Amino acid sequence: MSGALAIEVAGEEVLLLPQKALYWPRERLLVVADIHFGKAAAFRSLGVPVPHGTTAENLAALDALVERHGARGIVFLGDFLHARAAHAPATQRALLAWRERHAGLSLLLVRGNHDRHAGDPAAQLRIALVDEPHLHGPFAFSHHPELAADGYVLAGHVHPTFLLASRFDALRLPCFLVGPRRMILPSFGAFTGGHPVTPEPGERVFVSSGEAIHSVR
Amino acid sequence: MTTLAALDAWFAQRNWTVFSFQRAVWKAAREGQSGLLHANTGAGKTYAVWFAALLRGGERKPSGLRVLWLTPMRALAADTQRSLEQSAAALAPAWSIGARTGDTGSAERARQSRSLPNCLITTPESLSLLLSHAATREQSRHLDMVIVDEWHELMGSKRGVQVQLALARLRRWRPGLVVWGLSATMGNLRLAQDVLLGEGQGTLVEGDLSKQIVVDTLIPANVTRFPWGGHLGIEMLEPVIREIDQHASTLVFTNTRSQCELWYQNIIDARPDWAGLVALHHGSLDREVREWVEMGLKQGELKAVICTASLDLGVDFLPVERVLQVGSAKGIARLLQRAGRSGHAPGRVSRVTLVPTNSLELLEAAGARQAVASRRIEARQVPNKPFDVLVQHLVTVALGGGFRSEDLLDEVRSAWSYRLLTDEEWQWALDFVARGGQSLTVYPEYRRVLPDEEGVYRVPDAAIGRRHRMGIGTIVSDASIQVKYMSGGRIGSVEESFVARLKPGDRFLFGGRFLEFVRVHEMTAFVKRATRSSGAVTRWQGAKMPLSSELAHAALDQLQLAAQGVFEGPEMESLRPLVEIQQRWSALPTSDTLVVESMKSREGYHLFVYPFAGRSVHMGLASLFSYRIGRTQPITFSIAINDYGFELLAPEAVDWARVFAGATGAEVDLFDTATLLEDVLGSLNATQLSQQRFREVARIAGLVFSGYPGQPKSTRQLQASSSLFFEVFRKHDAANLLLTQAQREVLEQELELTRLRDTLAELHERKVAYREVRRATPFGFALMVERFREKVTTERLSDRVARMVRELEKAAAA
């Protein structure tokens, strides 16, 4: 049981993964939004102590998904690096070592707002860099969801979460917000928060419990 | 220039006599002694310590900062300044007196940073801020005396710990520093003295304690035998209005802001001619509104103010003739404090009148009077080495000139809360600010506090310093949202969690008006006046305080007397029919008997237990019981609690007779204390509770930055919520002492583990009276209504309850 949920958007079957990513089987592409590498390091350089381990956690999560689905490439929907301080040597070393383990993987980054401040990732990482929207098949890979594009928009930026509430209990969970013309992915990063969203009419909400995807609206 | 002779003359001119406690303080302070002055109310205590400071100044012209006056609320600073200036004008005209709080303007601040006044009135947060500036040490070289006002209010909180640390620092700079605290009555004055002055240090001066305090009750015309929370509210409106009418000025204390709003609304509806004469005061209202009300009260322009704890403190809210307390006061100290709002001047009688909102509160009223008469007053707990405050202090001191580890450790340990701080814990805190956490990891990019070549820890980065100063302060309020009219006017602020529950078009009562919610935009809730006058009103409830253990015991003592047929005073006399039906149908809970009732109804199988230990302990007990029963029999309970007991309701039968078989509590396995901690952690969602606690811890420790003023969002790079930190720490740094602290605070403060343990120990001693009852008893009925309240709307609730009361009354008459 992978806990993933297959849905159809823009005539394509995609898998919503409980690990807060999307998989496009036909192209064997893993799609990941808002990973924010180096965010912990950025906090530390500003004098806020964050324990180490979040970069390794992110990379291990990518490892597991690539292996499980046999992905041949990853598309990052923006905010790959959190800030300039993300170029800290320790973070860069970890990223390079990971890249060497996956030398054959094609990597594509659609630049987001944080990437503009942080600067492009190092050339040795061999990541193809594009501006939004990046058209591929029926999809327009973007960072900002509000973008008008000729295609079904897959975007991040919002870090959407949804409040599941009953009379006794309430849980805030990361979610996919799936509309007729665009989908917003949850943030993938281990050290990223979320913002509650209210779906508009015609939008469906899929929450991730960490183990499975549930359709809630 | 001030001498004893000048003081005597000053008093004589006003035809006042010097109290002996005032002389005692003057004498001790002149000899260089520190102390704690225990005085209830009145201006007498201000003159005691303030004139002591002037006497110590002697006949020289003062230079630089000599006296620091700490006050818990910035609203009090202006009052204090006025009061000190008035007396100084005649006695010590050369003294300059100033205030520095969060409200102080930037021009005044700039002037003060060049030279501080001779007497500075400030708050704990602003004092910490001063310590973060390197120039403060030089500016304090003439500091002679520190006065800590309302110490009883501060000592139980993290702000009190902040005061302890600041005093430790000032004493290090000025070894002969004289410190005086002012405290109202509390259960552990000796401890208050030790915490402020150091173990066994200083002297305790007892003030004007002969003050007579009267506690009485507005007895309702009909005392129902089947009570439920709030049902007497409206019935008591008439008597309350009569009291307001008969007196020049009245304070009506309520327990929650929503109760405050409701009473104000009902009073104005009944007496429209009082519009403008009766006002509303609670902590969520805009500061200008509150100041207007306070001023009106002082100038005798208001006939009555309906208020919450927001008016508990204050130096000279002069003539209030009458004080009413609506609902339970929850504690004796609070009741005394509120009583003191009337007859404020020395020698006058203070009186507080209780207005019960349900019949059982008559029991508390009777108990409270007894406890006040015998001065059985709650003790205050002092936080034990909170790491968040320590971490904040380390950065503050590093900013304010830097520190060496071993010197500062000595100094910190001289603060009572950290007297048992271990070397390991110190090292952890130091590593946390200097290296960002785990001592074995090196984070080359981490910078907050760094040792220089000589081993002096400093803050190397000006931006970090600026952010730290913004974050100083230990009062953490729930994120609040401004409430504004669409047309512009500000009304006040409410909790974000309340606004989150509102839908556009929902109506609520706030600031004495019915408002309709329109939308939220950038941390502001926009509203307009509600046009519809009917329809549901969203209730806006504050946290409910538990009954103090002193008051609960006092109530049980009254029941003990009643069990022996002794009904003392009008409260117990009017409660007699209720007590008798409880005895007839079941048994009376008393200080030596625990009553347990089981009952079957259409709803299912009920269990009622009456330990009289306050709502938070009952929540803990109810969860503990259902967890322990659930281990032997898979079952789900719904739980209801109040301050007197709790109810467990199950869809199927439990053999309660067997569970409670035993002559005393010690023979009932359910009351076992050996595995208490594990079971409490297992029974409640302790993780989620800790995460909520961690919000406060993370902010004090400087992890979460709430932004510069006028800039609602922090710098984008630094956005992260405390829950995110909580997750990351739990996953990657589980030994972090801030996490441990959050868990400890949950157990001690929210679940009141110590009190839970004490309660179980007490139950071991009590006889167990297990009764199977056919219908709800008076005590059980109150709990059942508590449970419905969660489920149904107010209107339908009163219909349903009225029907049940009719049925029960019929049975009682038979």
Task: Assign 3-class secondary structure to B604-625.
Answer: EEEEEECCCCCHHHHHHHHHHH
Rounded CA-CA distance B510/B537 in Å is 11
DSSP state, A27? G
Residues of A in contact with B464 (CB under 8 A): 46-47
Mutate to test the interface with B, among A39, A46, A114, A192 (most CBs of B within 10 A): A46
pLDDT band at A1 (very low <50, low <70, confident <90, very high): very low
Q: What pLDDT is recorded for position A115?
A: 81
Query: What does the radius of gyration of chain B's CA atoms come to, in whole angstroms?
Result: 28
Closest among A169, A140, A136 to A156, alpha carbons compared: A140
Residue type, B427: Q
CB contact under 8 Å between B464 and A90, yes or no, is no
- State whether residue B732 sits within 8 Å of chain A by CB: yes
Q: How far apart are CA B455 and CA B452, in angstroms?
A: 5
Which tens digits make up the pLDDT trace of B507-558?
887 877 788 888 877 667 888 888 765 555 565 555 567 888 889 999 999 9
Element (H, E) at A106: strand A106-110
User: Strand B145-148 vs strand B67-70: parallel, antiparallel, or unpaired?
Assistant: parallel
Report, in this order, helix, strand and coil percent for chain A, each rounded to 5: 25, 35, 45
- How far lies A37's CA from each of A53, A115, A127, A185, A193, in Å? 11, 10, 14, 17, 14
CB A158 within 8 A of CB A184: yes
Whole-model pTM over 0.90? no
Gap between the Cα atoms of B635 and A215, Å rounded: 30
- Of A43, A53, A90, which has the smallest distance from its Cβ to B718's Cβ? A43
Cβ atoms of B623 and B683 within 8 Å: the answer is: yes
Between A51, A83, A191, which is nearest B438 by CB?
A51
What per-residue confidence (pLDDT) applies to B713?
44
Say whether A83 and B717 touch across the interface (CB within 8 A).
yes
Q: Please count the CA atoms within 13 angstroms of the CA of A75 that sit on its side-chain side.
A: 26
3-state secondary structure of B465: helix
pLDDT above 80 (res B693): no
- The per-residue pLDDT for B232 is 55
**Out of A17-26, B369-378, B618-627, B745-754, which region has the weakest mean confidence (pLDDT)?**
B745-754
Chain B: give the shortest CA distance to residue A167, in Å: 9
Tens-place pLDDT, residues B426-474? 998 998 888 877 655 666 667 788 888 899 999 988 888 888 888 786 5
pLDDT digit string, tens, across residues B28-54: 999 999 999 998 766 588 899 999 999
> Is residue A20 within 8 Å of A62, Cβ to Cβ?
no
Of B443, B461, B736, the CB nearest to A52: B443
- Asked if the ipTM is above 0.85, the reply is no
pLDDT at B375: 81
Across the range A170-174, mean pLDDT stands at: 78
Residue A133, preceding bond cis, omega within 30 degrees?
yes
Rounded-to-integer distance, Cα B136 and Cα B116, Å: 9
Task: Out of B165-179, B198-212, B551-565, pick the least confident.
Answer: B198-212
CB atoms within 10 A of CB A152: 18
Cβ–Cβ gap B718/A90 under 8 Å: no
Asked if B112 contacts B89 with a C-beta cutoff of 8 angstroms, the reply is no
Which residue among B436, B705, B732 sits closest to A54, beta carbon to beta carbon?
B732
